[in-house]
Amino acid sequence: MSSGMTELAWFKSSHSGSDGDSCVEVAIAEQAVHVRDSKDASRQPFAVGRECWSHFVRFAAGR
Instruction: Walk along the chain (63 residues) and give the pLDDT tens digit of each residue.
Output: 444 555 899 988 776 666 666 688 899 999 999 999 888 878 899 999 999 999 999 998 886
**pLDDT the model gives residue 17:** 65
The four Cα atoms 37, 40, 41, 45 give a dihedral, to 10 degrees, of: -40
**Of 40, 42, 46, 43, the residue nearest 27 (C-alpha):** 46
Helix (H, G, I), strand (E, B) or coil at 6: helix
The pTM score is 0.73
Q: What is the DSSP letter of 22?
A: S
